[in-house]
């Protein structure tokens, strides 16, 4: 431990900074912030909101998401070390000390919740804290290593950002914001299962009970199709509740229909490239869906 710590301290400053940035999972953070901004933008009364407060809300969301990612990497450092996809992360490589990573995550998490509560409101702060606790304790420390439903249940943590953005404006949770929550909730399993298909050997090596590891690849593919079929009508709901205009509904139907087709393509093929393509499209899909909501807000 002392050797690793001294090695970390002796690293150049720019290398140290990049390692701590990596702990925040910036790619995941970007999706969290964008969906959170969509919730904020669609909330009633946003036009009267101080722009500085809107920026603070998004910064708190970003910092908290990054903090949860850092704690996740701290806890999962053992399995990250044996998975090809994650073994280059700062903790398995010994570039960041374990205690530093944990302290970094906890400090940022507490700080972001307190600022959200003091600057915006405590409903948004409470949702932010709950999402972080759910991700760290329910998903990372419990479900991930216990059940093939880990992504289905634990993925709820990633669906909280629109609720938080909405609450930052209104100080409440509504049916409309819950619809945004459900869209991400049902998007998460096919998104991560697509990844798990072409990273199946990694999950086997790490003994993580992903759906494909426990129930097989075909069962996982069928589940992916079912979730995209549920997501299709759900993605259209904002156009029928007054949250967006009709143009959003047309684009959502096209995007969601293609998402279903990618899942069917994965089901009908043994080529893992199809799963990789579906994973890439799933990220594009969610960004595009929420961008369409923002641009076509009622």
pLDDT tens digits, one per residue of 118-158: 999 999 999 999 999 999 999 988 888 888 888 888 888 88
**pLDDT tier for residue 288 given thresholds of 50, 70 and 90:** very high
This prediction has a pTM of 0.90
Domain co-membership, 203 together with 223? yes
* DSSP codes joined into one string, 175-239: HHHHHHHHHHHHHHHHHHHHHHHHTHHHHHHHT---HHHHH-HHHHHHHHHHHHHHHHHHHHHHH
Residue 274 lies in a domain: yes
Domain co-membership, 135 together with 280? no
Is the pLDDT assigned to residue 239 strictly greater than 90?
Answer: yes
- Residue reference for tokens 């290593």: 145
Given a contact cutoff of 8 angstroms between Cβ atoms, the answer to whether 257 and 241 are in contact is no
In the chain, the percentage of residues whose pLDDT exceeds 90 is 63
Give pLDDT tens digits for 185-196: 999 999 999 998
Give the pLDDT of residue 121. Answer: 96
- Residue reference for tokens 């299709």: 232
Residue 227 lies in a domain: yes
Residue 287 lies in a domain: yes
Give the pLDDT of residue 17. Answer: 83
Give the pLDDT of residue 3. Answer: 46
**b/e sequence 168-196, b meaning 16+ C-beta within 10 Å:** bbbeebeebbebbbbbbbbbbbbbbbbbb
Number of domains in the chain: 2
Is the pLDDT assigned to residue 6 strictly greater than 80?
Answer: no
Cα–Cα–Cα angle for 229, 231, 237, nearest 5°?
A: 125
Domain co-membership, 100 together with 185? no
Domain co-membership, 168 together with 21? yes
Structure tokens at 93: 């490589």
Is the pLDDT assigned to residue 95 strictly greater than 70?
Answer: yes
Is the pLDDT assigned to residue 13 strictly greater than 80?
Answer: no
Is the pLDDT assigned to residue 272 strictly greater than 60?
Answer: yes
C-beta atoms surrounding 14 within 10 Å: 8
Query: How far, CA to CA in Å, does 144 sit from each of 69, 108, 196, 211?
Result: 14, 23, 13, 11
**Rounded Cα distance, 73 and 211, in Å:** 22
Domain range holding 201?
174-298
Question: Of 153, 144, 155, which is closest to residue 207 (Cα–Cα)?
Answer: 144
């Amino acid at each position: 431990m002392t050797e690793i710590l001294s090695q970390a301290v002796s690293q150049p400053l720019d290398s140290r900074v990049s390692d701590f940035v990596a702990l925040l999972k910036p790619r995941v953070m970007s999706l969290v912030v964008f969906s959170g901004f969509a919730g904020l933008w669609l909330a009633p009364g946003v036009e009267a909101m101080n722009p500085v407060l809107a920026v603070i809300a998004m910064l708190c969301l970003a910092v908290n998401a990054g903090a949860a990612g850092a704690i996740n990497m701290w806890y999962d450092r053992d399995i990250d070390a044996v998975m090809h996809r994650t073994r280059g992360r700062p903790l398995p490589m010994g570039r960041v000390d374990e205690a530093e990573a944990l302290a970094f995550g906890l400090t940022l998490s507490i700080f972001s919740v307190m600022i959200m509560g003091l600057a915006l409101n405590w409903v948004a702060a409470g949702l932010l804290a709950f999402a972080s606790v759910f991700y760290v304790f329910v998903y990372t420390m419990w479900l991930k290593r216990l059940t093939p439903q880990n992504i289905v249940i634990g993925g709820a943590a990633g669906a909280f950002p629109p609720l938080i953005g909405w609450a930052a404006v209104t100080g409440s949770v509504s049916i409309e914001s819950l619809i945004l929550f459900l869209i991400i909730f049902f998007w998460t399993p096919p998104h991560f299962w697509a990844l798990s298909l072409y990273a199946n050997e990694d999950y086997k090596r790490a003994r993580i009970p992903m759906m494909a590891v426990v129930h097989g690849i075909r069962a996982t593919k069928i589940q992916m199709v079912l979730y995209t079929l549920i997501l299709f009508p759900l993605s259209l709901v904002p156009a029928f509740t007054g949250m967006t205009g009709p143009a959003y509904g047309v684009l959502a139907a096209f995007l969601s229909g293609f998402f279903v087709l990618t899942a069917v393509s994965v089901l009908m093929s043994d080529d893992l490239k199809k799963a990789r393509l579906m994973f890439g499209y799933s990220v594009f899909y969610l960004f595009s869906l929420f961008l369409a909501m923002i641009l076509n807000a009622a």
